[in-house]
Amino acid sequence: MELISITGYASISPLGTNPETIWENYLSSKHFLTYKEFKKVAGWIGALPKTLEEELNFIKTSNTKYANLDKSVLMAIYVSRKAIAHAGWNKGTFGINIGSSRGATELFENYYQDFVQQKYQKTHPLTSPTTTLGNLSTWVADDLQTQGPTISHSITCSTGLHALLNGIAWIRSGMSNQFLVGATEAPNTDFTMAQMQAIKIYTKNKDTYPTKAMDLNKTQNTMCLGEGAAVFCLEKGTSKNALAYIDGIGYATEKLKHNISITNDAECFQSSMKMALKEISAPIDAIVMHAPGTIKGDSSEYKAIQKVFGDKIPALTNNKWKIGHTLGTSGCLSMELALLMLQKKQFINVPYLTDNKAPKQINNILVNAVGFGGNAVSIVLRGIEVE
């Protein structure tokens, strides 16, 4: 595979937005989930800190065009500005692919509620344009003043890593040398929580850790929602500014047996991991699992890892116990965790997993993501060797 460099990135999540703050929060053994009571439901969520909400509101009020945008779009604008500054990109023709599982969740729900309450069932004239999925990359492109291709898509919870695949495909085709890729998700609404509770995967835990992702001994599902956005700057070939290299990519889709089905040993993950590892000669030191905190989701992925790695399973980790499941963004935040571990040369463990050992070295990390319907993506990140 033609080498792809990551030259910049940015995120916003319950862990913050500054890389050093995010790393400090990863070093902590505490979770960043809060219990919230909505109008009709209540439960654990991963929410942005108040200071970051204020920064998003500043963007919203700084330009009259942004006044009617959904929070997911504001987060995408926020992280995209920071990422291209990190990479040193100027205004130009770089491509943008930012996706979302749900899109303009809160805005759509508010417009619909307003519609059903209106006597003549009229709705706001901006309802359609501001709630279409294409708004994500379109507004980012407008804000950054780039004229490259703009793509938005939804492939459920593997959306972010599918954006990465798409950016790599454009670069490898020769149609673009730079691509901004990632995802954004703001699903913390009572209706979205009610949907997850309806399929009986939402956590009811009152333990120290509400979400027990990767705990294969749990007896109940413990997934909870989280919000966040993360984007990465991809460039063709090697770069003196490279933070890490993408050495392998893999993808696969299972045959649907149910709307949220995945086989007991995650055949999609077996295929995507094998594809990503096909040309990798160096050992994989760690895997950032998708592990949503559900019984079947966690166990099926672990079984897939066993099938692929046998008795040489790398160190395993995850961040959903700390920030919740950010749906389409989750793969990108997992990728950020992998990038930070490669830079710091330090493994982030899951505190309640006592038998999970840290690797002796951290040079190559595999990152997994999968969504409803078994749309799996696996990528291999290689760290930068310091001479």
Q: What is the C-alpha end-to-end distance of the chain, expressed in Å?
A: 25
Domains of the chain from N-terminus onward: 4-383 (3.40.47.10)
Contact (Cβ atoms closer than 8 angstroms) between residue 67 and residue 61: yes
- Give the length of the chain: 387
The span from the CA of 300 to the CA of 305, in Å, is 9
pLDDT digits (tens, 9 = 90+) for 121-178: 889 999 999 999 988 999 999 999 998 999 999 999 999 999 999 999 999 999 999 9
Mean pLDDT, the chain, integer: 95
pLDDT in 10s for each residue of the chain, 387 residues: 689 999 999 999 999 999 999 999 999 999 999 999 999 999 999 999 999 999 999 999 999 999 999 999 999 999 999 999 999 998 788 999 999 999 999 999 999 999 998 888 889 999 999 999 988 999 999 999 998 999 999 999 999 999 999 999 999 999 999 999 999 999 999 999 999 999 999 999 988 999 999 999 999 999 999 999 999 999 999 999 999 999 999 999 988 776 666 889 999 999 999 999 998 999 999 999 999 999 999 999 999 999 999 999 999 999 999 999 999 999 999 999 999 999 999 999 999 998 888 999 999 999 999 998 789 999 999 999 854
The residues pairing with 368 across neighbouring beta strands, listed in sequence order, are 378
The CA distances from residue 235 to 5, 16, 93, 139, 163, in Å, are 5, 26, 13, 22, 14
Q: Return the number of other C-beta atoms located less than 10 Å from residue 82's C-beta.
A: 19
Strand 42-46 relative to strand 225-226, pairing? parallel
Contact (Cβ atoms closer than 8 angstroms) between residue 217 and residue 352: no
The span from the CA of 334 to the CA of 295, in Å, is 20
pTM for this one? 0.96
